[in-house]
């Protein structure tokens, strides 16, 4: 039974120079529920491809002006169309002919003479297989997004926990193990996988960023800032600060004042 909503119907490009065969195939495919665009040679097919949203190409091999092989080359070389299933209708049955088409990435063959049932089944199978591939790729993207979202949520929780205990100079791995429902090794592996840093690097970076923000805001003397950020040694703090930001903490505020003036 023909599909009445042609907007939703899968669209097949039928390229065949024999008008009688083309008409019969068109009637068959429309009875199967497809919307069919007809071309008598590869050049006409090219124009239809550029203007219509096609799901599959059913193409004769031997045609005037532009034959099926030339059209196949055009289709597979263009990223806009290269994903389309391309089925040959052909009387050519030699191994060399088939290898030529396969080398150009033809998807299937229907050898003349053929049954209309074979045409209908091969069109359906190729279209549905392509849909399955697209759906699988789409689901994989969704899974990747969800996976990344979980990663960012986990990293955010780790950073929030560090921020909450920033002044604790004795913050240790065991503290994370008590807070998060996974082993300490799993916590470390996940952090390394997500941001490429060790847990200790993440803690140190959080301490230094907080210290920099406090110094820039003139929130407290540097001697107090370093203790509030979990450092118990002034020289160690100064060394790590310089390594990370390329400037001494004592020079940071001075530079800010010079910029303001």
Q: Read off the pLDDT of each residue in 154-169 and give the average, rounded to a whole number.
A: 86
Q: Is residue 106 within 8 Å of residue 86, measured between CB atoms?
A: yes
Q: CATH no. for residue 252?
A: 1.10.10.60
Domain range spanning residue 170?
A: 165-260
All residues at 6 or more sequence positions from 78 whose CB lies less than 8 Å from its CB, including other chains: none
Residue 34 C-beta-side C-alpha neighbours within 13 Å: 27
With respect to residue 195, please indicate whether it lies within any of the assigned structural domains: yes
What is the predicted pLDDT for the residue at 146?
A: 58
Domain count for the chain, please give it. Answer: 2
Determine the pLDDT at residue 148: 61
Closest among 220, 218, 223, 252 to 235, alpha carbons compared = 223
Q: Are residues 64 and 176 in the same domain?
A: no
d(CA 184, CA 173): 7
Question: What pLDDT is attached to residue 140?
Answer: 61
| Sequence-distant contacts of 102-105: CB under 8 A, at least 24 apart | 104/69, 104/72, 104/73, 104/76, 105/72, 105/76
Q: Which pLDDT belongs to residue 145?
A: 56
Report yes or no on 115 lying in a domain.
Answer: yes
pTM metric for this prediction? 0.50
Burial degree of 110 (CB within 10 A; 0-12, 13-18, 19+): middle
Domain boundary among 90, 117, 137: 137
Q: For position 253, what pLDDT does the model report?
A: 64
Q: Has residue 95 been placed in a domain? A: yes
pLDDT tops 50 at residue 1: no
Whole-number pLDDT of residue 182: 83
Token pair for residue 154?
């986990």
- Residue 74 above 60 pLDDT? yes
pLDDT of 97-114, one tens digit each?
788 888 888 888 888 888
The verdict on residue 3 lying in a domain is no
Please state, rounded to an integer, the average pLDDT across all residues of the chain: 84
* Residue 27 resides in a domain: yes
Q: Is residue 147 included in any domain, yes or no? A: no
CATH of residue 38's domain is 3.40.50.2300
In a domain, 88, yes or no: yes
């Amino acid at each position: 039974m023909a599909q009445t909503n042609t907007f939703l119907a899968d669209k097949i490009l039928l390229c065949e120079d024999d008008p009688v065969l083309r008409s019969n195939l068109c009637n068959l495919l429309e009875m199967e529920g497809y919307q069919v665009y007809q071309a008598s040679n590869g050049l006409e097919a090219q124009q239809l491809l550029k203007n219509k949203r096609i799901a599959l190409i059913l193409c004769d091999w031997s045609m005037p002006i532009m034959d099926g092989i030339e059209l196949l080359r055009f289709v597979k070389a263009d990223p806009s169309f290269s994903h389309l299933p391309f089925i040959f209708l052909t009387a050519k049955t030699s191994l060399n002919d088939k290898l030529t088409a396969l080398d150009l990435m033809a998807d299937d063959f229907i050898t003349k003479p053929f049954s209309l049932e074979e045409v209908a089944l091969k069109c359906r199978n190729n279209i549905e297989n392509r849909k399955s591939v697209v759906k699988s790729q789409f689901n994989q993207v969704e899974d990747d997004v969800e996976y990344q979202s979980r990663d960012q949520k986990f990293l955010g929780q780790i950073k929030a926990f560090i921020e909450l205990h920033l002044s604790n100079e004795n913050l240790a791995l065991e503290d994370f193990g008590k807070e998060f429902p996974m082993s300490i090794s799993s916590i470390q592996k996940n952090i390394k996988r997500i941001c490429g840093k060790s847990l200790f690097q993440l803690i140190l970076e959080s301490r230094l960023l907080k210290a920099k923000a406090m110094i820039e805001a003139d929130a407290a003397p540097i001697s107090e800032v370093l203790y509030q950020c979990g450092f118990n040694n002034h020289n160690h703090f100064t060394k790590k600060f310089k390594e990370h930001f390329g400037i001494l903490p004592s020079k940071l505020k001075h530079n800010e004042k010079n910029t303001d003036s």
